[in-house]
Structure 1
Amino acid sequence: MKQNHLFLLLLFTSLSVFSQTNNKEASYRTNLKELNMKVYEKDSTANALVLYEYGNSYVDQRDYDLITEKKFKIKLLNREGFDNATVTVHLYNNERRSEKIEEIIATTYSLVNGNVETTKLSKENIFKERYNENYTLVKFTLPNIKEGSVITYSYKLISPFMYKYHGWEFQGDIPKLYSEYNTSIPANWTYNIKLVGAKKLTTNTSDIKKNCLSVSGGGHSDCAISKYVMKDIPAFIEEDYMTSESNYLSRIDYELMTFKGFDGSIYNYTKTWEAVDKELKTDPNIGKQLYKSISVEDLLSKTIIDEQDELKKANAIYKYVQEEYTWNEEYKIFKDVSVKDLIKNKSGNISSINILLHNLLKSCKINVKPVLLSTRENGLPTKIYPVISDFNYLIVQATINDKTYLLDATDKFLSFGQIPFKCLNQYGRLLDLKNGSKWIDIKPEKSSAVQYKATLSLNKTGNITGTVTSKRTDYYALKHKKSFKNEENYLKNLEDNNPNIEITNHNVTRNESHPDFLENYDVKYLYDNAGNNIYINPFFIKLFKENPFKLQERTYPIDFGYESTYYYIMHIDYDEGYTVLEKPKDLNIALPNNTGQFIFSSTISNNSLNMLMRISIKESLFPSEYYPYLKAFFNKIIESQNNSVIVLQKT
Structure 2
Amino acid sequence: MQKTSVLLLLFLNISIYAQTNFNSETLKVTRADLELNVYEKDSTANALVLHEYGNSYIDNNDYSLITEEKRKIKILNREGFNKANVTIYLQKSDDRKEKVKNIVATTYNLVDGKVTVTKLSDTHIFEEEYNDDFTLVKFTLPNIKEGSVINYSYTLQSPFKFNYQGWSFQSDIPKLYSEYNTSIPANYEYNIKLVGGKKLFKNDQKIKRNCLYGGNGAHADCTISSYAMKDIPAFIEEDYMTSKYNFLARIEYELKVFKGFDGRINNYTKTWKTTDREFRTDKDIGKQLSKSIDLEDFVSHTVITEKDTYKKADAIYKHVQENYTWNGDYKIFSDVSVKNLIKNKSGNVSSINILLHNLLKEADIDVKPVLISTRDHGFPTKIYPVISDFNYLIVQATIDDKTYLLDATDEYLSFGEIPLRCLNSYGRLMDFKKGSEWVDLKPSTLTTIQFRAELNMGENDNITGSVKSKKTGYHALDSRKSYHQNNDAYLTNLEDKYPNIEISNHEVTNEGKTNPDFLEAYDIEYNWDDTGDNIYLNPFFTSFFKENPFKLQERSYPIDFGYKRTYYYMLKINFDDSYTVLEQPENLRFTLPNNKGSVHFSNVIIDNAINIMLKISFEDAIYPAEYYPYLKAFMSKIVDIQTNSLILLKKK
TM-score (norm 1): 0.94
Q: Which residue of 1 aligns with 2:96?
A: 97
Q: Which residue of 1 aligns with 2:241?
A: 242
Measure how far apart 1:171 and its partner are: 0.8
Q: What CA distance in whole angstroms lies between the structure 1 residues aligned with 2:644 and 2:323?
A: 50
Q: Which residue of 2 aligns with 1:497?
A: 497
Give yes or no for contact 1:446–1:563 (8 Å, CA) kept in 2: no
Q: What CA distance in whole angstroms lies between the structure 1 residues aligned with 2:445 and 2:356?
A: 24
SS at match of 2:130: strand
**Cα deviations by residue, 1:400-444 (Å, 9 ceiling, x for unpaired):** 010000111110010000011101111111111222111100011
Q: What CA distance in whole angstroms lies between the structure 1 residues aligned with 2:595 and 2:446?
A: 15
**Cα deviations by residue, 1:561-614 (Å, 9 ceiling, x for unpaired):** 100000000111110122222221111111111111111111111111111111
**Cα deviations by residue, 1:37-74 (Å, 9 ceiling, x for unpaired):** 22222222222111111111122233332221111111
Matching residue's letter, 2:596: T
SS at match of 1:107: strand
Is 2:394 aligned against 1:388? no
Q: What CA distance in whole angstroms lies between the structure 2 residues aligned with 1:286 and 1:61?
A: 40
SS at match of 1:611: strand
Measure how far apart 1:219 and its partner are: 2.7
Q: What CA distance in whole angstroms lies between the structure 2 residues aligned with 1:570 and 1:453?
A: 6
Question: What percent identity do the matched residue pairs reach?
Answer: 63
Q: Residues 25, 368 of structure 1: CA spacing in aligned structure 2 closer, same or farther, 3 A cutoff?
A: closer
Q: Which residue of 1 aligns with 2:324?
A: 325
Q: Which residue of 1 aligns with 2:31?
A: 32
Q: Compare 499-508 and 90-99 and name the one that shifted more.
A: 90-99
Q: Residues 45, 25 of structure 1: CA spacing in aligned structure 2 closer, same or farther, 3 A cutoff?
A: closer
Q: Which residue of 1 aligns with 2:565?
A: 564
Give yes or no for contact 1:198–1:556 (8 Å, CA) kept in 2: no
Q: Which residue of 1 aligns with 2:509?
A: 509
Q: What CA distance in whole angstroms lies between the structure 2 residues aligned with 1:264 and 1:518?
A: 69
**Cα deviations by residue, 1:607-638 (Å, 9 ceiling, x for unpaired):** 11111111110111111111111111101100
Q: Which residue of 1 aligns with 2:587?
A: 586
Q: What CA distance in whole angstroms lies between the structure 2 residues aligned with 1:345 and 1:223?
A: 54
SS at match of 1:544: coil
Q: Which residue of 2 aligns with 1:185?
A: 184
Give yes or no for contact 2:108–2:116 (8 Å, CA) kept in 1: yes
Q: What CA distance in whole angstroms lies between the structure 1 residues aligned with 2:228 and 2:363?
A: 58
Q: Compare 252-261 and 558-567 and name the one that shifted more.
A: 252-261
Q: Compare 138-147 and 317-326 and name the one that shifted more.
A: 138-147
Q: Which residue of 1 aligns with 2:480?
A: 481
SS at match of 1:534: strand
Q: What CA distance in whole angstroms lies between the structure 1 residues aligned with 2:251 and 2:192?
A: 7
Q: What CA distance in whole angstroms lies between the structure 2 residues aligned with 1:435 and 1:343?
A: 31
SS at match of 1:625: helix
Q: What CA distance in whole angstroms lies between the structure 2 residues aligned with 1:282 and 1:94?
A: 25
Q: Residues 62, 635 of structure 1: CA spacing in aligned structure 2 closer, same or farther, 3 A cutoff?
A: same
Q: Which residue of 2 aligns with 1:17?
A: none
Q: Compare 53-62 and 383-392 and name the one that shifted more.
A: 53-62
Q: What CA distance in whole angstroms lies between the structure 1 residues aligned with 2:606 and 2:136?
A: 72
Q: What CA distance in whole angstroms lies between the structure 2 residues aligned with 1:43 and 1:494?
A: 40
Q: Which residue of 2 aligns with 1:537?
A: 538
Question: Structure 2: 5+ residue runs without aligned partners?
Answer: 1-21
Q: Which residue of 2 aligns with 1:603?
A: 604
SS at match of 1:353: helix
Matching residue's letter, 1:294: I
Measure how far apart 1:133 and its partner are: 2.8
Q: How does 1:409-558 map to 2 (within 5 A)?
A: 409-484=408-483, 485-512=485-512, 514-558=515-559
Q: Which residue of 1 aligns with 2:141?
A: 142
Measure how far apart 1:510 and its partner are: 4.2
**Cα deviations by residue, 1:442-501 (Å, 9 ceiling, x for unpaired):** 011332001100111113432211011111111001111122222232222222221122
SS at match of 2:191: strand
Matching residue's letter, 2:503: I
Q: What CA distance in whole angstroms lies between the structure 2 residues aligned with 1:197 and 1:487?
A: 44
Matching residue's letter, 1:415: S
Q: Which residue of 2 aligns with 1:168?
A: 167
**Cα deviations by residue, 1:287-312 (Å, 9 ceiling, x for unpaired):** 22111111111211111111110001
Give yes or no for contact 1:507–1:520 (8 Å, CA) kept in 2: yes
* RCO higher in structure (CA 8 A, sep ≥6): 1
SS at match of 2:237: coil
Matching residue's letter, 1:174: I
Q: Which residue of 1 aligns with 2:614?
A: 613
Give yes or no for contact 1:286–1:337 (8 Å, CA) kept in 2: yes
Measure how far apart 1:77 and its partner are: 1.7
Measure how far apart 1:267 and its partner are: 1.2
Give yes or no for contact 1:460–1:575 (8 Å, CA) kept in 2: no
Q: What CA distance in whole angstroms lies between the structure 2 residues aligned with 1:458 and 1:380?
A: 54
Measure how far apart 1:346 and its partner are: 1.5
Q: What CA distance in whole angstroms lies between the structure 2 residues aligned with 1:52 and 1:365?
A: 62
Give yes or no for contact 1:460–1:577 (8 Å, CA) kept in 2: no
Q: What CA distance in whole angstroms lies between the structure 2 residues aligned with 1:648 and 1:279?
A: 73
Is 2:404 aligned against 1:402? no
Matching residue's letter, 1:642: T
SS at match of 1:148: coil
**Cα deviations by residue, 1:78-119 (Å, 9 ceiling, x for unpaired):** 222111111111122223332222211111111122211111
Give yes or no for contact 2:24–2:176 (8 Å, CA) kept in 1: no
**Cα deviations by residue, 1:379-400 (Å, 9 ceiling, x for unpaired):** 1111111111111111111100
Q: Compare 184-193 and 560-569 and name the one that shifted more.
A: 184-193
Q: Which residue of 1 aligns with 2:649?
A: 648
SS at match of 1:33: helix
TM-score (norm 2): 0.94
Q: What CA distance in whole angstroms lies between the structure 2 residues aligned with 1:543 and 1:61?
A: 62
Q: What CA distance in whole angstroms lies between the structure 1 residues aligned with 2:310 and 2:24?
A: 68
Give yes or no for contact 2:129–2:135 (8 Å, CA) kept in 1: yes
Q: Which residue of 1 aligns with 2:374?
A: 375
SS at match of 2:549: coil
Measure how far apart 1:529 and its partner are: 4.5
SS at match of 1:483: helix
Q: What CA distance in whole angstroms lies between the structure 1 residues aligned with 2:597 and 2:643?
A: 21
Give yes or no for contact 2:127–2:136 (8 Å, CA) kept in 1: yes
Measure how far apart 1:24 and its partner are: 8.1
Give yes or no for contact 2:24–2:50 (8 Å, CA) kept in 1: no
Q: What CA distance in whole angstroms lies between the structure 2 residues aligned with 1:636 and 1:193?
A: 44
Q: Which residue of 1 aligns with 2:11?
A: none
Give yes or no for contact 1:86–1:140 (8 Å, CA) kept in 2: yes
* CA RMSD across the alignment: 1.6
Q: Which residue of 2 aligns with 1:294?
A: 293
Q: What CA distance in whole angstroms lies between the structure 1 residues aligned with 2:403 and 2:345?
A: 28
Give yes or no for contact 2:372–2:393 (8 Å, CA) kept in 1: yes
Give yes or no for contact 1:198–1:555 (8 Å, CA) kept in 2: no
SS at match of 1:162: coil
Q: How many residues align?
A: 629
Q: Which residue of 1 aligns with 2:209?
A: 210
SS at match of 1:217: helix
Q: Which residue of 2 aligns with 1:16?
A: none
Q: Compare 632-641 and 572-581 and name the one that shifted more.
A: 572-581
Matching residue's letter, 2:516: P
**Cα deviations by residue, 1:192-217 (Å, 9 ceiling, x for unpaired):** 11111132222222222233233343
SS at match of 1:490: helix
Measure how far apart 1:170 and its partner are: 0.7
Give yes or no for contact 2:567–2:616 (8 Å, CA) kept in 1: yes
Give yes or no for contact 2:103–2:153 (8 Å, CA) kept in 1: yes
Give yes or no for contact 2:49–2:177 (8 Å, CA) kept in 1: yes
Q: What CA distance in whole angstroms lies between the structure 2 residues aligned with 1:607 and 1:372?
A: 59
SS at match of 1:208: strand
**Cα deviations by residue, 1:139-163 (Å, 9 ceiling, x for unpaired):** 1111122222111011111222222
SS at match of 2:162: helix
Q: Compare 250-259 and 334-343 and name the one that shifted more.
A: 334-343
Give yes or no for contact 2:24–2:177 (8 Å, CA) kept in 1: no
Matching residue's letter, 1:248: F
Q: Which residue of 1 aligns with 2:276?
A: 277
Give yes or no for contact 1:125–1:141 (8 Å, CA) kept in 2: yes
Q: Which residue of 2 aligns with 1:636?
A: 637
